């Protein structure tokens, strides 16, 4: 698939189709940084630089603030609901990740304060189907957490990025995770269970996550957000160079030009091609900002079931 | 109006002189590269007068705020401490180039006031 050129007129002209139903102006005293709908749709969580997270309940005529989650020492940067709807996670510049539980009486309780990161935590996101939490931080790492005997523990640390990790996104099945960073790379991490056939070592019963793909040279500035489509598998990135990029993966596409040599990869593998389809949705057509390095994709030796051909498609139509 | 014109009059947070007078910023520390159609990458390297961390961060913040407000052309901005002039320069550079940290810092009334004192043009 290819990206399309920007539409010449917006499909939904201002003033038609969307109505502003509510303005919740009294909940926070500083910038509201993130909003998240609960899985059931009845609640909205808002995370603010004022250090609090508000929970709003949908009413007939608007929204009511039913809870204010306090405790973080400074700016709350992200909030996310677990798929179950009974757990919430928040994170802050105070370096911590908090896990909250809500009961049938709509009472919120902090069930864990996780101090695994050594710096500002930018983003938290839940695994699509398991109670597994991921966080992205100014300390250049991604960390994963799970519940263990009534408390939450950090069960994995993903190291590799060379600067702040701004966001992470899980693939639909939850076996892979994408992360984006101030280091201008998009990385894909894959989970390896204990006893895996690729021979990746795991300590104890926790899976290990390895970086299986690094996309460099595509983004010319900090990448702030990433989203992994659960329908199509496409990965979109939001970049400080004013562009959105969409990456797609095709398995079994065969070799494409130019073939590259990779070390330590067995030859009897199915093929994987990662390519960058058109940079889309710029507001004006212009030359791609000069990239200091040619775009490249590098694969770790743990990509034993995947490989090896890369063809950068032209960036703009 | 050039980048240098905009930054030379920023006052030092501690001394009654401008960054230019104190040679915290110099012409040589300003780089402007065209990166797109009428869009420029502005890179500033500054040398703080003292190795004190919080002052260096404050100067970086002042540079960013003044340029954000006054640059008349579309730009991306990078601000760095000149290499080798500070023991924690990587830490400071990371902070002053993190736009979320900068935005949050400017919501802090005390810090905001200090920045305003440094960047506001005298009557």
Chain B contact for A271 (CB, 8 A cutoff) = no
Over the stretch A175-196, which tens digit does the pLDDT of each residue have? 999 999 999 999 999 999 998 9
- Over the stretch B7-25, which tens digit does the pLDDT of each residue have? 999 999 888 899 999 999 9
Q: What's the pLDDT tens digit per position in A41-94?
A: 999 999 999 999 999 999 998 999 999 999 999 999 999 999 999 999 999 999
On whether both A155 and A30 belong to a single domain, the answer is yes
- The reported pTM is 0.84
Of the candidates B37, B76, B104, the beta carbon closest to that of A286 is on: B37
Strand partners, A67: A55
So what's the ipTM on this one?
0.94
pLDDT digits (tens, 9 = 90+) for B48-75: 887 777 889 999 999 999 999 999 999 9
Give per-residue pLDDT as tens, B79-115. Answer: 999 877 767 889 999 999 999 999 999 999 999 999 9
Minimal Cβ distance to A30: which of B35, B37, B107: B107
Closest-CA residue to B116 (of B13, B1, B34, B35): B13
Q: What is the pLDDT of residue A263?
A: 31
Banded pLDDT at A11 (limits 50, 70, 90): low
Chain A interface mutation, best of B33, B34, B35, highest count of A Cβ atoms under 10 Å: B35
Query: Which of A31, A163, A284 has the CB atom closest to B103's CB atom?
Result: A31
User: DSSP letter at B18?
Assistant: B
Task: Please give the C-alpha separations between residue B62 and each of A142, B91, B102, in angstroms, as whole numbers.
Answer: 31, 17, 10
Closest residue, chain B, to A75 (C-alpha):
B104
Judged by a CB distance cut-off of 8 A, whether residue A284 touches chain B is yes
Same domain, A140 and A85: yes
Provide the sign of the torsion angle of the four alpha carbons A58, A91, A39, A22, taken in this order: positive
Enter the tokens of residue A261: 């040599």
- Residue A290 and residue A3: Cα distance in Å, rounded? 21
pLDDT given at position B89 = 87
CA angle B2, B5, B6 (to 5 degrees): 95
Domain made up of B3-118: CATH architecture: 2-Layer Sandwich (3.30)
Which of A229, A249, A269 lies at the terminal end of a domain, its last residue?
A249
CB contact under 8 A, B101 and A221: no
A205 at B interface, C-beta within 8 A: no
Is residue A297 assigned to a domain? no
What does the pLDDT read at residue B54?
A: 83
Let me know: does A74 contact A43? Beta carbons within 8 Å.
Answer: no
Please state, in angstroms and rounded to a whole number, the distance separating the CA atoms of residues A312 and A295: 7
Does residue A94 fall inside a structural domain?
A: yes
Residue B37: its H or E element: none
pLDDT of residue A280 exceeding 80: no
Q: A182 touching B, CB under 8 A?
A: yes
Does A97 map to a domain? yes
Q: Taking CB atoms and an 8 Å limit, are A31 and B98 in contact across chains? A: no
Between the CA atoms of A88, A93, A95 and A100, what dihedral angle is there, to the nearest 10 degrees?
-20
Cβ-Cβ contacts under 8 Å, B97 against chain A: 182
Q: What's the confidence (pLDDT) of residue A16? A: 74
Domain count, chain A: 2
Same domain, A68 and A124: yes
pLDDT of residue A12: 57
Residues of the domain holding A202:
164-249
């Amino acid at each position: 698939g290819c990206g399309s050129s920007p539409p010449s007129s917006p499909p939904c002209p201002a003033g038609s189709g969307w109505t502003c139903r509510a303005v919740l102006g009294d909940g926070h005293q500083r910038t509201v940084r993130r909003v998240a709908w609960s899985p059931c749709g009845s609640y909205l969580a808002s995370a603010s630089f004022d250090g609090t997270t508000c929970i709003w309940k949908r009413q007939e005529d608007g929204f009511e603030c039913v809870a204010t989650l306090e405790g973080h020492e400074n700016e709350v940067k992200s909030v996310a609901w677990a798929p179950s709807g009974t757990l919430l996670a928040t994170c802050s510049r105070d370096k911590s990740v908090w896990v909250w539980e809500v009961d049938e009486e709509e009472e919120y309780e902090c069930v864990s304060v996780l101090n695994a990161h050594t710096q500002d935590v930018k983003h938290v996101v839940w695994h699509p189907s398991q109670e597994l939490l991921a966080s992205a931080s100014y300390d250049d790492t991604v960390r994963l957490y799970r519940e263990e005997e009534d408390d939450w523990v950090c069960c994995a640390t993903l190291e590799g990025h060379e600067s702040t990790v701004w966001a992470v996104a899980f693939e639909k099945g939850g076996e892979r995770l994408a992360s984006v960073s101030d280091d201008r790379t998009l990385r894909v991490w894959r989970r390896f269970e204990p006893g895996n056939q690729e021979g990746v070592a795991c300590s104890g019963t926790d899976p290990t996550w390895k970086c299986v793909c690094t996309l460099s040279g595509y983004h010319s500035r900090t990448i702030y957000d990433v989203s992994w489509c659960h329908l199509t598998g496409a990965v979109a990135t939001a970049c400080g160079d004013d562009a959105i990029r969409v990456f797609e993966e095709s398995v079994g596409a065969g070799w494409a030009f130019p073939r590259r040599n990779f070390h330590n990869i067995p030859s009897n593998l199915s093929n994987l091609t990662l390519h960058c389809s058109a940079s889309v949705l710029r507001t004006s057509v212009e030359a791609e900002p000069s990239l200091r390095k040619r775009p490249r994709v590098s694969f770790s030796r743990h990509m034993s079931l995947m490989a090896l051909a890369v063809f950068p498609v032209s960036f703009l139509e | 109006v050039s980048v240098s014109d905009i930054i030379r009059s920023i006052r030092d947070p501690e001394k009654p002189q401008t960054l230019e007078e104190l040679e915290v910023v110099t012409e040589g520390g300003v780089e402007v590269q065209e990166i797109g159609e009428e869009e420029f990458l502005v890179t500033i390297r500054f040398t703080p007068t003292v190795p004190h961390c919080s002052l260096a961060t404050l100067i970086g913040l002042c540079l960013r705020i003044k340029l954000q407000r006054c640059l008349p052309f579309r730009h991306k901005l990078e601000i760095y401490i000149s290499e080798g002039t500070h023991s924690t320069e990587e830490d400071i550079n990371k902070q002053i180039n993190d736009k979320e940290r900068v935005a949050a810092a400017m919501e802090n009334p005390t810090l905001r006031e200090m920045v305003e004192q440094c960047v506001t043009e005298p009557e």
